């Protein structure tokens, strides 16, 4: 017997994703119509958006009534994905650091913290690898690109 | 079609001096390295090393640049197979079956398959160029927006095959990609979906988006493992397995030949090229296969189809560059820069007056193909060492290279931010079994499909009967229909004959 909807966090998460996708598609369609309601502007966007919205509804309904395929594999709960979520947050901080701090320093911190987060027990090795890797890659980028980017040492 | 006097002149040019050959091995290695680093690409490699060609004669310069092209065409397959990170857009379909093969411990065989398919594809591409350089260029001029739209639609039909068990999810993922691909200013000048950001006027940066969707999201999943290949026994470096993989590619001569032909034809069309050729070749091979159940799970035919097409498209794109002076993509645009540096203008007159030089470039590329086998084998053998690197080192290192690559490609922080945003989207999609490959195909082809549809509408005035006046479009459309109906007809035919036999 299938447990009720609220007891299946994966279903709820899927419904949230579908809501975000449908919301973005509706906004995009509205924005396209606002830009120009002509056939030339909407001849591909409108049918594709309407079909995609219909599919969102269909998939949402399938999720709500619980008509899953027998072989559907449910994803691990977000609680079990703490390490992945932490890594994604670290990745986001890294991209932010590139823009507002410096390429070499951000790369060094990202690689060193990632290594420790992902299980490297030798801290000296983690820091040493991160320093060499950050220096080499930033120097290669500096040599290759004709335009400037922020860095501290290279 | 072959001018034998010019051919004799070409052999004199090539074998009369040893200097032109010096440029080939470094060119191939540069191409292999730049192709193998996600985000870096053949055009970037060519642009970085273009100034060097100013000190070379024209033939050496062209051999150097085409060597980068040849090396890079194959290099993109290496991260696609080993890490599910297509080094370039032209290796997207290589990842579909190459990566599952790697996860099963068959990474050496997959790389061998890719190397053999790439070399054969490049060779066939240049043989066709050698025989038909002028007719190919003339045929390209006959293609209009209607024909281009049919080709884009052909590539988009692959979306339907990527559902991973749920057709609705596959279709939604593909349609989402098409809509994302149309963000920005349309060919008519309408601005949609930018939210007022000037950064999105040219649309979403496709390569960083595909790196995010494919690569970063896969790397997020990979951190739950210790190694790419969990079985320790399968992690050893096996040169014999690479060679056996190379031999296995020749078990599929039809796939090799079809992929190569598709690559040459699509590669010759300006603005389309190898990023579409590999998808069309893959979808055709999957559709025509009697047993297609293993596609997406590690079928060698998928790797062969994709690699033969993306490599042979080099020959096609060189045809339009040499015969018309039109660059088909980023790589040939940089080559056009080398033309300008040597005061040469491509086109019919250039071909007419310098056929020996054209033949020398083509013959030089045959030698490059042979050299690619040797250098590629060594490079692949070293690259397979990736499976022995612990994931905790691999994941942050590859992410940094991808981020640096996307920054160098776009030229500002839009590249890295795009990778981040699409990495999160890709990870969420993968969690709920949405095929990110379908979204990537939508992004790559959505803008092209919309632009060509719009131009077709404007030329025809909205009259569908206009297609009747475009024989090439009709042939392409019929081929597309036959291709779509082929599995159905095959199944019906099979059951009919079974009934007759019973």
| Confidence at residue A2, expressed as pLDDT on a 0 to 100 scale | 52
Cα→Cα distances B156→B161, B232, B396, B427, B453, Å: 10, 39, 33, 22, 14
Residue closest to B262 by CA, chosen among B286, B278, B242 = B278
Question: Taking the domains of chain B in order of start, what are their residue ranges?
Answer: 4-469
- Higher-confidence position of A82 and B1: A82
Gap between the Cα atoms of B10 and B359, Å rounded:
6
Provide the pLDDT for residue A126: 95
Residue A20 C-alpha, separation from nearest chain B C-alpha, in angstroms? 11
The whole-angstrom distance between residue A134's C-alpha and the CA centroid of its chain comes to 23
Assess B46–A contact: CB distance below 8 Å, yes or no.
Answer: no
| 428-447 of B, contacting A, C-beta below 8 A | 428, 431-433, 446
DSSP count for chain B of H helices, then E strands: 23, 2
Reading chain B (502 residues) residue by residue, the pLDDT tens digits are 677 888 888 888 888 888 778 889 999 999 998 888 776 778 878 877 887 888 888 889 999 999 999 998 898 899 889 888 886 778 889 999 999 999 888 989 999 999 999 999 999 998 988 888 767 767 777 778 888 888 888 778 777 666 656 888 989 999 999 999 999 999 889 999 998 888 899 999 988 898 888 777 778 888 888 887 777 777 777 889 999 999 999 999 999 999 999 998 888 877 667 778 888 899 889 888 888 888 888 999 999 999 999 999 888 888 878 877 777 677 887 888 888 888 887 776 777 778 888 888 888 888 899 999 999 999 988 888 887 889 899 899 989 988 998 898 888 899 999 999 999 999 999 888 898 888 988 888 888 889 989 999 998 888 878 877 888 888 888 888 877 776 666 666 656 555 665 5
Local structure of residue A93 (DSSP, 8 states)? H
Output the CA torsion sign for A21, A24, A29, A32.
negative
- Contacts with B, A 21-40, CB within 8 Å: 21, 25, 28, 31-32, 35-36, 39-40
A91 has a chain B CB within 8 A of its CB: yes
Among the residue ranges A100-104, A113-117, B165-169, B403-407, the one predicted with the least confidence is B165-169
Tell which of B171, B179, B181, B409 to mutate to test the A interface (max A CBs under 10 Å).
B179
| Closest CA in chain A for residue B428 | A17
B475-484: b or e for each residue (b if 16 or more CB lie within 10 Å)? ebbeebeebe
Please, what's the b/e burial string for B211-238 (b: 16 or more CB within 10 A of its CB; e: otherwise)?
Answer: bbbbbbbbbbebbeeebbbeeeebbeeb
CB contact under 8 A, B172 and A147: no
Query: Tell me, what's the ipTM?
Result: 0.91
Do A83 and B223 lie within an 8 Å CB cutoff? yes
Which alpha helices (H) appear in B205-252, and where do they start and end? 206-210, 217-222, 239-249
Q: Give the Å distances, CA to CA, from B344 to B317, B340, B349, B357.
A: 18, 6, 11, 12
Q: Are B11 and B363 in contact (CB under 8 A)?
A: yes
Identify the bridge partners of residue B191 per DSSP, sorted by sequence position.
B185
| Residue A135 contacts B, CB cutoff 8 Å | no
Q: Find which of B160, B191, B192, B455 to mutate to test the A interface (most A CBs within 10 Å of its CB).
A: B192
Secondary structure tally for chain A: helices H, strands E: 6, 0
Is the pTM higher than 0.80? The answer reads: no
Residues in contact with B482: Cβ distance below 8 Å, sequence separation at least 6, in sequence order: none
Report phi then psi at B184, rounded to 5: 110, -160
pLDDT for the residue B501:
57
Residues of B in contact with A14 (CB under 8 A): 432
Per the document, the length of chain A is 154
Residue B148's pLDDT is what?
A: 83
Query: B192 forms bridges with which residues in the sheet?
Result: B184
Note which residues in 53-82 of chain A have CB less than 8 A from chain B.
55-56, 58-59, 62, 69, 71-73, 75
* Yes or no, beta carbons of A40 and B454 under 8 Å apart: yes
- Flag if B423 and A88 touch (Cβ within 8 Å): yes
CA nearest to B478, candidates B465, B467, B487: B467
> What pLDDT does residue B497 have?
53
Closest to B188 in 3D by CA, of B445, B443, B441, B447: B447
Q: According to the model, what pLDDT value does residue A3 have?
A: 52
Q: Among B165, B190, B391, whose Cβ lies nearest the Cβ of A69? A: B165
Size of interface A-B (CB pairs under 8 A): 149
Residues in chain B: 502
A109 touching B, CB under 8 A?
A: no
Place of tokens 């988009």: B156
């350089």: which residue's tokens? Answer: B133
**B188–A contact, CB cutoff 8 A:** yes
CB A114 within 8 A of CB B395: yes
* Chain-chain contact of B393 with A129 (C-beta, under 8 angstroms): yes
Whole-number Å distance between alpha carbons of A6 and A4: 6
Q: Which residues sit opposite B184 in a β-bridge?
A: B192
Contact state of B220 with A40 under an 8 Å Cβ cutoff: no
The count of other CB atoms within 10 Å of the CB of residue A2 is 11
B-chain residue closest to A119, CA distance:
B392
If you measure CA to CA, which chain B residue comes closest to A13? B432
What are the chain A neighbours of B171 within 8 Å (beta carbons)?
51, 55
Handedness of CA B81, B83, B88, B93 (dihedral sign): positive
- Name chain A contacts of B419, Cβ cutoff 8 Å: 95
The answer to whether the Cβ–Cβ distance between A17 and B428 falls below 8 Å is yes
Looking at the complex, report in whole angstroms how far the Cα of residue B178 sits from the nearest Cα belonging to chain A: 8
Contact A59 B175 (CB under 8 A): no
pLDDT at residue number B1 = 65
Record: contact A41-B190, CB cut-off 8 A: yes
Distances (CA, A) of A149 to A144, B43, B76, B241: 12, 21, 26, 43
The position carrying tokens 């609680």 is A79
Residue corresponding to tokens 């036999």: B501
Q: Residue B69's closest CA among B445, B266, B328?
A: B328
Best A15, A91, A97, A99 residue to mutate vs chain B (most B CBs within 10 Å): A91
> Mean pLDDT in chain A?
88
Between CA B312 and CA B342 the distance in angstroms is 26
């Amino acid at each position: 017997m299938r447990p009720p909807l609220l007891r299946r966090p994966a279903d709820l998460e899927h419904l949230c994703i579908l809501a975000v996708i449908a919301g973005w598609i509706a906004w995009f369609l509205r924005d396209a119509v606002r830009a120009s309601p002509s056939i030339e502007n909407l001849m591909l966007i409108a049918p594709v958006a309407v079909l995609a919205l219909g599919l969102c509804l269909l998939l949402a309904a399938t999720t709500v009534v619980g008509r899953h395929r027998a072989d559907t594999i449910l994803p691990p709960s977000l609680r079990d994905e703490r390490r992945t979520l932490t890594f994604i947050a670290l990745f986001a901080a890294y991209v932010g650091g590139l823009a507002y701090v410096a390429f070499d320093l951000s790369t060094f911190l990202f690689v060193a913290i990632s290594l420790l987060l992902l299980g490297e027990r030798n801290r000296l090795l983690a820091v040493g690898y991160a320093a060499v890797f950050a220096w080499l890659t930033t120097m290669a980028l500096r040599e290759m690109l004709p335009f400037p980017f922020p860095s501290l040492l290279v | 079609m072959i001018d034998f006097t010019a051919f004799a002149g070409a052999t004199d040019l090539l074998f009369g001096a040893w200097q032109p050959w010096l440029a080939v091995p470094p060119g191939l290695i540069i191409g292999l390295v730049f192709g193998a680093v996600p985000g870096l690409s053949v055009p970037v490699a060519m642009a970085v090393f273009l100034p060097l060609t100013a000190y070379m004669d024209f033939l050496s310069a062209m051999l150097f640049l085409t060597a980068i092209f040849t090396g890079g065409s194959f290099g993109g397959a290496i991260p696609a197979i080993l890490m599910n990170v297509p080094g370039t857009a032209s290796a997207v379909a290589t990842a579909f079956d190459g990566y599952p093969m790697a996860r099963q411990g068959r990474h050496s065989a997959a790389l061998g398959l890719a190397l053999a398919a790439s070399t054969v594809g490049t060779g066939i591409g240049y043989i066709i160029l050698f025989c038909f350089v002028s007719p190919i260029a003339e045929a390209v001029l006959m293609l209009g927006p209607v024909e281009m739209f049919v080709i884009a639609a052909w590539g988009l039909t692959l979306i339907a095959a990527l559902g991973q068990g749920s057709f609705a999810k596959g279709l939604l993922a593909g349609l989402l990609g098409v809509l994302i691909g149309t963000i920005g200013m349309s060919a008519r000048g309408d601005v949609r979906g930018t939210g007022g950001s000037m950064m999105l006027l040219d649309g979403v940066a496709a390569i960083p988006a595909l790196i995010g969707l494919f690569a970063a999201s896969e790397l997020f999943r990979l951190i739950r493992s210790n190694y790419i290949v969990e079985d320790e026994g399968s992690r050893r470096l096996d040169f014999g397995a690479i060679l056996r993989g190379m031999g296995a590619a020749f078990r599929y001569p039809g796939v090799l030949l079809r992929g190569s032909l598709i690559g040459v034809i699509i590669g010759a069309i300006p603005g389309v090229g190898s990023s579409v050729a590999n998808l069309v070749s893959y979808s055709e091979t999957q559709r025509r296969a009697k047993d297609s159940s293993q596609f997406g799970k590690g079928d060698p035919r998928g790797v062969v189809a994709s690699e033969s097409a993306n490599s042979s498209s080099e020959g096609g794109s060189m045809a339009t560059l040499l015969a018309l002076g039109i660059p088909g993509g980023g790589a040939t645009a940089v080559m056009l820069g080398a033309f300008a540096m040597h005061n040469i203008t491509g086109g019919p007159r250039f071909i007419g007056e310098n056929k020996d030089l054209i033949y020398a470039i083509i013959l030089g590329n045959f030698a490059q193909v042979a050299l690619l086998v040797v250098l590629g084998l060594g490079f692949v053998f070293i690259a397979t060492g990736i499976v022995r690197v612990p994931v905790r080192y691999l994941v942050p290192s590859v992410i940094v290279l991808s981020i640096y690559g996307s920054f160098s490609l776009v030229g500002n922080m839009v590249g890295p931010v795009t990778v981040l945003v699409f990495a999160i989207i890709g990870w969420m999609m993968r969690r709920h079994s949405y095929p990110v490959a379908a979204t990537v195909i939508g992004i790559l082809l959505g803008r092209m499909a919309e632009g060509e549809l719009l131009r077709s509408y404007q030329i025809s005035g909205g009259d569908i009967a206009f297609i009747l006046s475009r024989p090439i479009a009709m042939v392409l459309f019929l081929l597309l229909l036959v291709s779509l109906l082929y599995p159905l007809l095959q199944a019906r035919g099979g059951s009919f004959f079974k009934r007759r036999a019973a």
